[in-house]
Amino acid sequence: MRVLRWLLCWKWGLLLSVAPIFAGAQPPLPLQPHKIKIAQMYYREGVANHDSMRIAEAFYEYGKLYTAATDYHTATRWFIKSMRIIEKRGDSYELARLHVRLADLAALQVQYTTSRDHAYQALAIARRCRSERGMIRACAVLARLHHRNWHAEAPANTQWPAARPDSGLYYLRQVERLAYRLNDPMEVAQVKQALGGRLAAHHDRRAIAYLTDALAIATRQNSGDRLGMMLNLASAYLTFGQPRPAFNHIRRAKLIADSAYANVYAIQYAVTYHLANYYRATGQWKQALTLTDTLRQWEKRDLIADRNGAISRLSIEYESEKKEARLKSQQEELALQVANQRIQQWFLWAMLASLVGAVGMSVVFFWLYRKNRRISRRNAKLVREQNHRVKNNLQVVASLLSLQANRLTDNTAQQAVEESQYRVQAMATLHRRLYDGEHLASVYLPDYLTELVEDVLVAFGYPYLQPELDIAPITLSADEALPLGLILNELTTNACKYAFPGHPDPIFRVSCQQKGNQLQLDVADNGPGLEGPGLEGPAEPRLKNADSFGMRLIQLEADQLRGSHQFTVADGTRFTLTFTRRKQDGSTKYPDRRG
């Protein structure tokens, strides 16, 4: 037997005591025009105001629309489209509500796992955003899942659970607690209705109190749900053997149905069904048989009408679908031809534009390349000229210092001026290497250090001394080569002044090696050691004051390189400097020119 759709399932998903007579899927119902207009209005407003939440609400309304039409697959697609927009804003009541809708749709399609997952997600989201209304809906759908006997409906090779009334009742109690906290009368009435139905199914007499309270609240609120609540309460009274109050509620429901719903078949059927149950419960078999025959006549008429209407609809739909398919095929073919022509035109224009752009860019790049080459050559020439002029200026300064030294009579002053001359000469050597070399801002270290050492030895009268040089074939930037050259110039000068005089076999060693990004300079001689703070070895007269200008210069240049240095006295004097290179240049571009 057929039961009206609005009495099939309450908000909490509990079926009435009337079971449907037809099994199997039914074709989708027509869409409700006034609800279509609402959804379309929401969508237009969302697009016009660039309001994504309004568009999501429109998609939600479409989902409800197709759910009411029993087109569950289309409804699911609309709900998912709405969810993709809403979930970007994080947890909210609207997101929990969508998961509840998807859980109900999955349950209607006998998809236990999907329904359960959506229900638990809805509850978790509602708890995180502290939405009591969202928790009510989530707990209600979980109650429906636990009250349903999924095991009886399980397909092959699945392990779906049987009904779990205790778990379902637990979630209904949660709904009741939240409904009272929310202070919404109809929410309280609905949960009491659901609790009463479950208790009546388990023959628990507390069901009467719950159903009575639900009906009282609905009556005070003048809700349209009170007719169905009257019938449910009457069914509970019949379950517990109390036909008189059951009849009173059925009679009240019949009065409402006859006055307000006289032409509504589903409501008339439900009232007649409950009245027949009352007559059977009280032994009035003649009246019960009469009403049962009436119900069967209605069912038979409905069945014949459904069959004839279905045949007519199928014939009309078949012919309409054939025409629509043919027309759609022609339209798609025409649209495809137009699209192909448009694509070909766009492709030709794109190819032409690409060709023109490629030619234009080639011309521009070639012009920029020529211009950059001219600028690079000009800059290289200017840098070389600058280095050449700096070198000449330093040579002039060195010559002036040499002339000044020759005119001095004081040996100490003359010695100081000569040392300054050698330092200036070291800087001039660096700049000469810069403008002579292939690189404008770096110098080849073996050539530079070798020339610097040999110039100092010749200047002090030791041209015959062959220094032992072991210098890595690397290039060094000018900013690092100058401090390194000044340090080596100072050490070579000190060796010529204090280590070599009076020595039968003077030795001078210079090593500069790279270890990773570290550069280490070692300078050693076999003369007497140093004396001063932090120095060990025999006393000697040449650097009794370790705070001399030369030592301060070495300290300053080492600090400029951000390196560490030390003197070691053992069979002569050894100086070690270690610093980190600022730039890693290649080490194989220049050959070793010493041999």
Cα(137)–Cα(190) distance, rounded to whole angstroms?
A: 12
Question: Where would I find the H helices in 437-575?
Answer: 445-459, 478-494, 549-560
Q: In the listed set 258, 287, 319, which residue is the last one of a domain according to the structure?
A: 258
Identify the residue whose tokens are 């636990």. Answer: 146
Q: What is the pLDDT of residue 373?
A: 78
Q: What is the pLDDT of residue 109?
A: 87
Per DSSP, the residues of 303-350 read HHHHHHHHHHHHHHHHHHHHHHHHHHHHHHHHHHHHHHHHHHHHHHHH
Model confidence band, residue 332 (pLDDT cutoffs 50, 70, 90): confident
Residue at 137 is within a domain: no
| pLDDT surpassing 80 at residue 29 | no
Q: Report the CATH number at residue 194.
A: 1.25.40.10
- All residues at 6 or more sequence positions from 574 whose CB lies less than 8 Å from its CB, including other chains: 522, 523, 524, 567, 568
Per residue in 381-429, pLDDT tens?
A: 666 666 566 656 666 666 666 666 666 666 667 666 666 766 676 667 7
Q: In the listed set 215, 230, 258, which residue is the last one of a domain according to the structure?
A: 258
Dihedral angle computed from the Cα positions of residues 586, 589, 594 and 595, in that order, rounded to the nearest 10 degrees: 130
Q: In the listed set 210, 228, 258, which residue is the last one of a domain according to the structure?
A: 258
| pLDDT surpassing 80 at residue 157 | no
Per residue in 92-151, pLDDT tens?
A: 999 999 999 999 999 888 888 999 999 999 999 999 999 988 898 899 889 888 888 887
Cα(328)–Cα(332) distance, rounded to whole angstroms?
A: 6
Residue at 125 is within a domain: no
Per residue in 241-300, pLDDT tens?
A: 888 898 888 888 888 888 877 666 678 888 888 888 888 888 888 888 988 888 888 777
Indicate the helix (H) or strand (E) that contains 444: strand 442-444
Closest CA to 450 of 435, 431, 433, 438: 433
Token duo for residue 169: 């009742």
Residue at 158 is within a domain: no
Residue at 463 is within a domain: yes
Q: Give the count of domains, the chain.
A: 2
Decide: 162 and 150 in contact? Cβ < 8 Å.
yes
Residue at 557 is within a domain: yes
Residue at 449 is within a domain: yes
Closest CA to 231 of 243, 209, 245, 249: 249
Q: Report the CATH number at residue 473.
A: 3.30.565.10
Neighbouring-strand partners of residue 313? none
Token duo for residue 88: 């970007």
Domain that holds residue 566: 442-580
Closest CA to 61 of 103, 29, 32, 92: 32
Distances (CA, A) of 34 to 41, 65, 578: 11, 10, 87
Residue at 25 is within a domain: no
Whole-model pTM?
Answer: 0.43
Cα(494)–Cα(460) distance, rounded to whole angstroms?
A: 11
Per residue in 528-587, pLDDT tens?
A: 766 544 444 443 434 444 557 778 888 888 888 898 999 888 778 899 999 998 754 444
Specify the 3-state DSSP secondary structure of 439. coil
Residue at 14 is within a domain: no
Closest CA to 271 of 214, 228, 240, 238: 228
Cα(153)–Cα(486) distance, rounded to whole angstroms?
A: 95
